[in-house]
Amino acid sequence: MFVVNPIFGEEVKAEKVKKTEEIPEVIVTATRVEIPVEVAPASVNVVTKKKIELKAPKTIDEALNDVFGVFIRRGKGLMDTLFAITLRGIPEQKRTLILMDGVILNNPYTGSVKMGGYYPEDLERIEVVKGPFSSLYGGYAMGGVVQFITKMPEKREILLKTGYGSSWKRGKAMDDLRRIYISYGDKLFDKLSIFLSYGGQWTNGYPSDFNVQTTKPPTGIIGYKETLTREGKKAYLIGDKGDNTWWDDGITIKAQYEFTKDTKLRLTFMRNRYNYDYDASHTYIFNATTGAPVWGYGRVRENTFLPGGGGRIQNTYSSGFESKLFKDIVMKLNLSYLNVEEDWYITTLSNATRTGCIGSPSACGYVSNTPSEAYMVDIQFSLPIFSNQIITFGGSYRHGHAHTKGKYLRNWRDRESITTLKYESKGKDRTYAVFFQDEIMLLNNLTLYISFRQDWWKTYDGYVNDVGKKGYPIEYPSHSASSFSPKFGLVYKPFESTILRGSIGKAFRPPTVYELYRTWTSTATGITYAGNPYLDPETVISWDIGVEQKLWKGARVSLTYFENYMRDLIYRKTVNATYQELVNVGKAESRGVEFEFEQKLDKWLRFFTNFTYTDSEIKENKAKPETVGKRLTYTPLWMANIGLEFEKSKFQAFLIGRYVDKWYVNDDNSDKVKNVYGSYDEYFVVDGRISYQVSKFAKLSFEVDNIFNRKYYQYYKAPERQWFLEFSLKF
């Protein structure tokens, strides 16, 4: 499941390239070979290196937050580990494929992606391809594919960046954000290219997590505030969990050797780390008589003020080899190994205190860690046949493994103070696949794309042990499934200024190790939450039709309509009062419109606006019939952007307003209340940045996020207004 690295791509076919002095923008993700964006058989967006440098995002996903049809979930800035990129109203990260130079970043344990430790300065461009793409990439690609493509300089290039920023009013956004980045790239002896980089960022954070209880403090306790849960139940705000601190860093080492003009080898190593924690928590409640702070009452214990920290260490090893065989056949071989050394978090239990623990360690806290790994091999051949076709075909293999262990802690503040095993679960999966694509130029202005892929998927070695609970340990049998994923696309250019495109295809997502084998029993309720080793893959059939039209000079408009028909969605079913399990029971549909308009004035000013409308509905859910007719979770009805980009002389600037409608996390859409802790509110925020080229090598920039200081929640309290000042040197 790999994509051709951009430097390995074929030359753009002359008959499809507009013969102007401007170099045509190309994309590789849509077809696995380089083609001009204008003839791609899908709705695509390319975020160029120039655009990334103009926006200077702190995280790689932030470079996409003004792209229509793309929903970025990042509720509390850097510190948000629930990050997600989703496309076309297909909810949750596990249904959108994320690639980094062809390496699948979706975790084999949950299908999620954690972006801590990746740096936008490493990127050459980002490619977004919307719609079903299992026909080329297999699982996860139900909503589409996002590929981050890193750079490989063709000449000596040194970049140094450092910056500092904070909230406009301390405690309201990321305080004391410090950031550094350094990279070196060069091409030696006309054969060997190298690239090295290191980035790091640290923040003291802000209080984004609150202690909200549904039990009212008794008489004699004051200071609490009445509020509501997101479902509308009366609740009480009694404190916050402290400033959410964060640091991450990343190392990239790349080398490429050109044996000949047509034979190249690339090797890459990336190490990405992050760590989050919380400083001293705060109680808002006091004894009315003595004024002493109160940290608990009734069943509300001190541990409710005490969140645990967490972190991850991930290593990526990859290689790409390309060679031209015979006269016209191009072979590409990609190998990679994704190794998550650690992915841990701490949970506090009832005996946890601000200083450590009281009583038994089994009621103090525990640390959960899920190391995982994925091996991937992909081989691809492409060749022209006759005078109007390009055939691309190949095969891939992927093996994933995840192993979770939870261990009790003597002191929840020290994750090394482990005692006995609390729970354990593990499992493996593997996928074999073959794929084929035929690009047929029916006419000089009409191209047909036919592609399909067959995946054979198997999961095995499933095991779970919720220590001390009845019925454990459990060993699960193996399970196999297969999926055939076809796709058809048509691109027609009736006039020089008009492009029409349409496509229809099928995609799938195999269940994750978590969904198959993660079974545990709640001590508090006695309810068992079971995985299901017999789950089948989820599927979607999608179609779209769109038009792109150039208007007057510098003006362009695009419009796309799409529909998605999802089947076998995985839901949690209540079997009885003490047992729930995951089952394939869901059907859902979504349809929507994507629109964009841009106007360029000469080379120094660009205005753009876009919106995405996605109407979604659950059509069938045997596990929970009352959800039928409700909107899909994690799917805003409306999203919109409006912005200006300016570049002239020594100045660069951008100003962008971003709107996201309210969305739901409860499948019955019962979380309707806005502006409370735990809700997912609609918001409109405006961000801006201005930079000045001080000298040939030096640049100074200043930016403000959330300029109008909008206050809203994305479960957590979202960052309010904040600023950042940065200085860079580029040689």
pLDDT tens digits, 638-682: 999 999 999 998 999 999 999 999 999 998 999 999 999 999 999
What are the strands, taking DSSP E only, across 577-674? 579-601, 605-621, 638-648, 651-660
Which residues lie closer than 8 Å to 336 by C-beta, 6 or more apart?
A: 2, 102, 103, 316, 317, 318, 319, 375, 376
For 270-316, write each residue's pLDDT tens digit. 999 999 999 999 999 999 999 999 999 999 999 999 999 999 999 99
Cα dist from 336 to 108, 268, 273, 398, whole Å: 14, 9, 19, 10
In a domain, 109, yes or no: no
Considering the entire predicted model, what is its pTM?
0.93
240 close to 282: Cβ distance less than 8 angstroms:
yes
The predicted structure's pLDDT at residue 387: 86
Domain that holds residue 538: 154-730
Which pLDDT does position 654 carry in this prediction?
94
Distance CA(389)–CA(202), nearest Å, equals 52
**Residue 318 reports pLDDT greater than 50:** yes
At 12, is the secondary structure helix, strand, or coil?
coil
Q: Which helix (H) or strand (E) holds 447?
A: strand 446-466
Mean pLDDT of the chain: 91
Average pLDDT over residues 350-359: 89
Question: CA of 391: how far to CAs of 2, 34, 449, in Å?
Answer: 17, 13, 10
Are the CB atoms for 366 and 352 separated by under 8 Å? no
Residue 203 lies in a domain: yes
Report residue 265 as tokens. Answer: 């080898």
Neighbours of 630 (CB within 10 A): 19
Cα(113)–Cα(656) distance, rounded to whole angstroms? 26
Whether 128 is covered by a domain: the verdict is: no
Whole-number pLDDT of residue 519: 86
Residue 523: the pLDDT is 67
**H helical segments located in 256-351:** none
- Taking only the tens place, the pLDDT of each residue in 557-608 is 999 999 999 999 998 888 888 888 889 988 999 999 999 999 998 889 999 9
Q: Which residues contact 527 (CB under 8 A, 6 or more apart)?
A: 521, 577, 578, 579, 580
Q: Are strands 286-287 and 221-222 parallel, antiparallel or unpaired?
A: antiparallel
- Residue 8, CB-side half-sphere exposure with 13 Å CA sphere: 31
Contact 612, 591 (CB under 8 A): no
| Token code pair at residue 75 | 């509720």
What per-residue confidence (pLDDT) applies to 578?
Answer: 84
Report the pLDDT value the prediction gives residue 272, as an integer from 0 to 100.
97
Beta strands in 261-328 (DSSP E): 263-278, 282-283, 286-287, 310-325
Find the radius of gyration of the CA atoms of the chain.
26
Helix (H) or strand (E) holding 335: strand 329-348
Tokens 């006759």 sit at which residue?
386
Give the CATH number of the domain where residue 370 resides.
2.40.170.20
Q: Any idea which residue has 């601000």 for tokens? A: 354
Tell me the C-alpha distance between 490 and 403, whole Å: 44
User: What percent of the chain is predicted at pLDDT more than 70?
Assistant: 96
Residue 16 lies in a domain: no
675-704 b/e with 16+ CB inside 10 Å = b? ebbbbbbebebbbbbebeeeeeeebebbbb
In a domain, 680, yes or no: yes
The residue type found at 112 is S
Question: Which SS3 state, helix, strand or coil, does residue 531 take?
Answer: coil
What type of residue sits at position 383?
A: L
Specify whether the CB–CB gap between 88 and 130 falls below 8 A. Answer: yes
> Could you give the CA distance from residue 402 to residue 410 in angstroms, rounded to a whole number?
26
In a domain, 8, yes or no: no
Q: Residue 112 pLDDT > 60, yes or no?
A: yes
Instruction: Write down the pLDDT at residue 524.
Output: 66
Percent of the chain residues past pLDDT 90, beyond the cut: 78
pLDDT higher than 50, residue 18: no
The mean per-residue pLDDT over the stretch 211-223 comes to 95
Residue 48: per-residue pLDDT: 92
Q: How many domains does the chain have?
A: 1
Q: How confident is the model at residue 24 (pLDDT cuts 50, 70, 90)?
A: low
Residue 122 lies in a domain: no
